[in-house]
């Protein structure tokens, strides 16, 4: 994860952003952050009700949440050491290929609901299967069992074009398309099991973010060295240089996905109340807007990169808790178990994801990897969704 950072402060850049360019960049970042949270939360409700085991979300337990900041810190510092010891060029080359594969699959999954609506009924929708196994006989183990149809294939082709564009040009628009896909899939497919777990996760990462941004230069160094679509960027010199602009403001995907999965949990809580109201979802969503706006204001005022979770965590947790206190539903909120809505056999976030499975599972895996969650490879039968 990285922090919101004004690239106009980069010592290598002599450009001074205009007020209009700065406002456009920050406004665009806020809008791009809101889209995956809003739509990812909506899709998380459908995802939790899925009867297909392959489409089940990954459930984060309190134990996972407690370990999260420690694992994330080790991963962040490990990357920092890698960039100090090894050539940045070769590391980013390997990462580019890795993120190309994951980005194509994540973007394909993101596009699948739209493709299902616009795909011509007159065109045949054929079924395909891609199968890779390891070993033989009784010891044979499935590594990839990927079932897809013509609509999924069209999505993969379109996503591959974006992927090639990203590989060759590293253009900020291609980066953002992949970043938005990762963020949306993360909010959709990573589920907190209850509000207490969400508080543990957000509280731990609150400390993590503040320490690594204010206490050391590790976060900023990795953010500037790590060339991968794990952040959303928008040029502050777009008005002067057009699409070839190169002086960026940035927002890390962790600052979207971490609060986003908490907001999605509150939406599922709203649904469970069966009151035809989305009070907690909208209050937390507005809290996120407030927190992100405050981050930008403080950063712009003090001209220093800010840990966005320093402002987002108190807002996203505090606002819904205050609402629950006023409505007398605080106990009900903290006793709600999101995992109760899932079918038996729903996967738990207990292993490192592998490059195998559907776009849905891979998108979830991407967010888990980029935010340092999980442990050992899991192999399972998977199938693309069309939610």
Return the active site residues.
209, 255
> Going by DSSP bridges, is the β-strand pair 58-60/190-192 parallel, antiparallel, or unpaired?
parallel
Phi, psi of 5 (to 5 degrees): -140, 135
Give which of 222, 240, 239 is closest to 231, Cα–Cα: 222
Report DSSP state, residue 119.
Answer: S
Alpha helix ranges (H) inside the chain: 19-48, 62-85, 88-118, 150-169, 172-189, 195-210, 218-225, 238-241, 254-273, 279-302, 309-327, 330-335, 359-370
How far is the C-alpha of 176 from the C-alpha of 192, rounded, in Å? 26
How far is the C-alpha of 208 from the C-alpha of 201, rounded, in Å? 10
Edge-to-edge strand order for the sheet containing 5-6?
Answer: 5-6, 248-252, 231-235
Distances (CA, A) of 30 to 49, 166, 227, 363: 30, 23, 21, 22
Distances (CA, A) of 333 to 48, 202, 345: 18, 17, 25
The encoded tokens of residue 333 equal 């909120």
Judge contact between 264 and 184, C-beta under 8 A. no
Distances (CA, A) of 173 to 20, 27, 227, 243, 372: 20, 16, 14, 9, 25
The encoded tokens of residue 32 equal 């791009």
């Amino acid at each position: 994860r990285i922090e919101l950072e004004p690239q106009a402060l980069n010592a290598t850049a002599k450009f001074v952003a205009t007020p209009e360019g700065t406002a456009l960049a920050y406004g665009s970042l806020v809008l791009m952050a809101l889209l995956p949270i809003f739509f990812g939360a909506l899709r998380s409700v459908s995802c939790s009700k899925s009867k297909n085991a392959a489409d089940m979300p990954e459930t984060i337990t309190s134990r996972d949440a407690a370990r999260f900041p420690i694992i994330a810190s080790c991963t962040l510092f490990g990357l920092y050491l890698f960039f100090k010891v090894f050539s940045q060029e070769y590391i980013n080359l390997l990462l580019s290929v890795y993120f190309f594969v994951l980005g194509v699959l994540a973007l394909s999954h993101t596009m699948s609901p739209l493709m299902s609506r616009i795909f011509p009924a007159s065109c045949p929708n054929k079924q395909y299967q891609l199968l890779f196994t390891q070993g033989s006989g009784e010891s044979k183990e499935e590594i990839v069992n990927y079932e897809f149809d013509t609509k999924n294939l069209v999505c993969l082709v379109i996503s591959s074009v974006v992927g090639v564009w990203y590989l060759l040009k590293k253009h900020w628009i291609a980066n953002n398309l992949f970043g938005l896909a990762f963020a949306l899939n993360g909010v959709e497919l990573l589920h907190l099991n209850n509000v207490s777990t969400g508080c543990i996760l957000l509280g731990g990462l609150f400390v993590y973010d503040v320490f690594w941004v204010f206490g050391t230069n590790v976060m900023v160094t990795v953010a500037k060295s790590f060339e991968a679509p794990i952040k959303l960027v928008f040029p502050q010199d777009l008005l002067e240089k057009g699409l070839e602009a190169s002086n960026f403001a940035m927002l890390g995907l962790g600052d979207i996905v971490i609060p986003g999965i908490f907001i999605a949990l509150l939406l599922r809580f709203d649904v469970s109340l069966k009151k035809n109201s989305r009070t907690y979802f909208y209050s937390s969503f507005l809290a996120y807007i407030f927190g992100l706006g405050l981050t930008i204001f403080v950063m712009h005022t003090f001209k220093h990169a800010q840990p966005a979770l320093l402002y987002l965590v108190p807002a996203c947790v505090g606002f819904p808790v205050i609402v629950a206190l006023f409505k007398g539903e605080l106990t009900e909120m903290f006793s709600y178990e999101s995992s109760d809505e899932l079918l038996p056999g729903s996967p738990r976030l207990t292993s490192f994801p592998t490059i195998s499975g559907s776009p849905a599972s891979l998108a979830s895996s991407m967010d888990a990897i980029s935010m340092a969650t999980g442990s050992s490879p899991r192999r399972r039968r998977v199938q693309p969704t069309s939610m």
